[in-house]
A and B are shown apart, each in its own frame.
Chain A
Amino acid sequence: MVRFENVGLRYGLGPEVLKDLSFGIEPHSFQFLTGPSGAGKTSLLKLLFLSLRATRGIVTVFDHDTSRLSKDELSVLRRRIGIVFQDFRLLDHLTTYENVALPLRVLGKEEASYRSEVIDLLEWVGLGERIDAYPPILSGGEKQRAAIARAVIVRPEMLLADEPTGNVDPPLAKRLLRLFVELNRTGTAVLIATHDLSLLDQVEARQLVIREGSLTVTDPHHAEAGGW
């Protein structure tokens, strides 16, 4: 699904922030991305989300070499990836419902074809009473749930989440993690970037640990480190 081969990334003429990354994300897999602040987690997420291009190495996403894709082709590929931003990135002038439905609207869907699905999902994430509320009046946790709902509404083949439980209380964090696990069970590959070590304890999953731009992979199922 995703394959990084000797990937390096630098911003402008600065030092490499990611060095020689080689790993893969398989379909239906579940993994955490951890590491200290400033280690390169966000940069790696941006590469995975096709928001940045690697300065060296090969990044293959859904069998496409991303360096050869046009901007529009990257946009189309991005439809198969859901992302949850740490800062939510909700559009303040749209209601919660409209924010969650945004990816479907971009796909050109008629509202009648998705309305009940969006409402069902909002009910599930606990925003059933807030469908007509605008983001500025939502709490941090509500924004987080809306952002997650927007990322999963199209059932992406891969879901990337940047600190998805950073703004919610432990019970809600547990419930959101269960949502990611359920999605993973139905075939979506999930990668969660987090500092929250308690999350790592709740799900036995592969861990990608990034330190100073270099990556170590720990897979509890295969008990090996540093490989694919």
Chain B
Amino acid sequence: MAKNFGYKILPGESIDFDRNDKLIARYLVEHEPSINLCIGCGSCTATCSTGHFTDFNIRRMHTFILRGETKHIKKEIQKCMFCGKCQLVCPRGVNLRNVILTINRAIEHLG
């Protein structure tokens, strides 16, 4: 976690919202609508068991999925241990374990 703390220079990139693949985002909202409650506070990421070992970051993944940048999500999402701490600390009541499971399914079904 520490290595992402603060600011660093990101490589230049452009996000084309019209051409990016938003299938996973749509699938997610359809099957687990509680994700819409997310305010991006990052509590889930702060408490994450997997996040203790890696830079696994649910909040960031959510942003990527919304943007349609899902290429590296497919590998990243497999690191989740499903312990459920994120769901318990979420102040908005997002059903987070099912969010992860739904993303898994979306990847499986949509390729």
> Do the two shown chains form a genuine complex with each other?
no
Residues of A within 8 A of B (CB): none
